[in-house]
Amino acid sequence: MRQTKIIPLLLAAIITAGCANNAAREQSAKAEAQIEAAYKQKDYNRITLLADSLRQLGQLSDAKAYYWQGYASDRTNKKRMAEFYWKASLDAAANSRGTDDIDAYTKSACRLANLLAVRGDYESALKSAIPAAERIEKLKCDTTSDYVNLLIYIGCCQAGIGIADQSADDGFDRAYQKHIDNIDKNHTDEAYKNAIAGLINIAYACNETKNYKEALSWTEKFGKLLGEYEQRPGTSSEYIDKQIGRFDIYQAIALLGLGQTEEADTVFARFKTTQFSQTPEGRINANEYLFAANRWDEAADNYRSLDALLSQESPAYSLDNIESMVLKKYRANLLAGRRDSAIAVSMMISDSLENALNRQKQVNAEEQVIIVDEVEKMTARQADEAREDQQKLLGLLAAVVMLFIGVFALNRRANRQMRIDHAELQEAYHHLEKQTAANERLETERKITQDVQQRMLPESMPVRKEIEISASLTPGKGISSDLYDALIRDEKLFFCISNAADGSVSSAVLTGAAIALFRTVSMHESAPEKIVATINETIAREHEEASVKLFVGVLDLATWKLAYCNAGHNVPLLLDSDVNQLESDANVPIGNNPHWDFTALETAFEKGTMLFLYTDGALKAENDDRKQFGDKRMRGAALQGMKMHATAKPFIGSILAAIEKHTGDSLQDCDMTLLVVRRV
């Protein structure tokens, strides 16, 4: 029988998929090895080429590839491209829980925060770093050195913008404790060096923001940890000497800032006994103290080593190092009374500046071209992925259709055989066969739509301090069709909820296509009516007999205006001190008309306001007497839930409890989905 071959085929497909996954993991490991080899050789051009080509071959995830491209761009002084790629990596891994993607997410968040902090763009750094840190903590991936350094950069930025509360200190304390925990757990050189680097950043940030008392406290922790590390066998004497030198400089600056001039001079004299103090890097680092102490002659002498230090860079005189170091060399000579040297430095700056500006313009132009090209590639790739998702969904639908055909053919053969051999039992047997086929068909349809649903549900919801978004999906015993999704782009929260307009398999499968299209279109379109119209046109053009209910909202996190478009879905409730339905235009479901003119409405989203969306299954939930939960009970449960549980997740729990109280333990026919968005 043709039908009996389906299960072996499915098993074969599962085994094949498992083998494919193993092969993919092996390819990914090989790709990582190639990248690591280029990283050790400091071949940044090769890193860029490898990351791009391996991503296109599917051997490296988008998040990983973009992280490495950002790293290579940063090391070649292409800061705009580095920022672009690291942001792209964060976006690519935003809804992933895979180990590799979370690792790339953490590394990109850390390096992006450092890049923006060094630039002095503290607010932008905090805007990306704080949500990233919260997500990493939520995923319980907060033990890596990259995460700990992210905490430190957050603290540096908070100190940089002068946050008055204890946020920066708390972040530094948490980072320090995690470093110590990591040392206690692993006892490796890497753990010690990561902690030492973290303490250097903290001490530097405290001195830069004139928090000298805190800087002195952190340098003491730095010195204690360095002393412990120095006792380990096999440590590099050059590394220890350099860190002792840096410790002396930061401690001297902190003491000087606290008015302890003699103690500061003593510590600085100790610095001058280190080998590090005789290197070009050490001499330039020492000028941080000499500038603070107004010791201009010594600073001017040290700047004679600047050319040797800058010769390690290519090009040596960029706009960044002219601003950060060469201009200071001019100032040191001028204040030291060395007029001829100051004039010579100013002439050198004049000669170098034009070339540096021209190089920067060229780099900016190259970066702009590459960024535009990458955006076009990303958009095209997202469109391709959406089409692939749709084709997969249609493939599942085709499998269902073929199953129907197989069952139909089976029934015809069975009936023909019954007429020949069992004429006297024809009516009874025909009824039994028909019922069995219907049951098998229903179970097959349910499994297929359930598989589509599980594939399309988001792994996690966006996390931001100023909003809460939570969702719950309770599967029914019938066809699975409910879906939802949410993402944040350009300080806007995009969210949607969807379910089939009827009980058909085709409509249920197309909810997955609608969600896939939502994810793609929302990456470049912000108007909800245009998002819905694009989804509708795509689906209606291909599938005239299937339709989907869809609600799309776009919440602007800067203005707190909610724009939304309803395509035949239940009208959401807006909750504050009362329960109100959103104003709604009675739009038709997706798929009924490819040229339907969808409209959007707008409302203010005040503090404490909660938007509550739900699918038909919640209203149609029945008790033993076949009475539905209904609109009236839903509004009452929402009002009660808002009063008792003003936050998103507990509110959803209260609604589910109210529905369960009405229905008892009976499994419902339809899926039941709830989604809540709340402004904190």
Give the 3-state DSSP-derived string for 101-113, with helices as H, strands as E and coil as C.
HHHHHHHHHHHHH
Q: Tell whether the model's pLDDT for residue 572 goes beyond 50.
A: yes
Between 4 and 605, name the one with better pLDDT.
605
Which among 641, 643, 645, 652 has a CA at the least distance from the CA of 676? 652
Strand order in the sheet with 492-500: 483-489, 492-500, 548-556, 561-567, 601-604
pLDDT range class, residue 7, cuts 50, 70, 90: very low
Q: Residue 324 gets which letter from DSSP?
A: I
Least confident of 15-29, 191-205, 236-250, 461-475: 15-29
Q: Does domain 460-679 have CATH number 3.60.40.10?
A: yes
Residue 54's alpha-carbon distances to 97, 106, 294, in angstroms, are 21, 21, 53
Residues 564 and 551 sit within 8 Å (Cβ to Cβ): yes
Q: Tell whether the model's pLDDT for residue 107 goes beyond 50.
A: yes
The residues spanned by each domain of the chain are 279-353, 393-450, 460-679
Once rounded to an integer, what is the mean pLDDT over residues 203-231? 88
Start-end of H helices in 275-326: 280-292, 296-302, 306-310, 319-321
pLDDT range class, residue 442, cuts 50, 70, 90: low
Residue 145's alpha-carbon distances to 85, 109, 180, 202, in angstroms, are 21, 12, 11, 15
Q: Tell whether the model's pLDDT for residue 106 goes beyond 80.
A: yes
Q: Tell whether the model's pLDDT for residue 23 goes beyond 60.
A: no
Residue matched to tokens 């300080």: 491
Percent of the chain with pLDDT over 90: 28
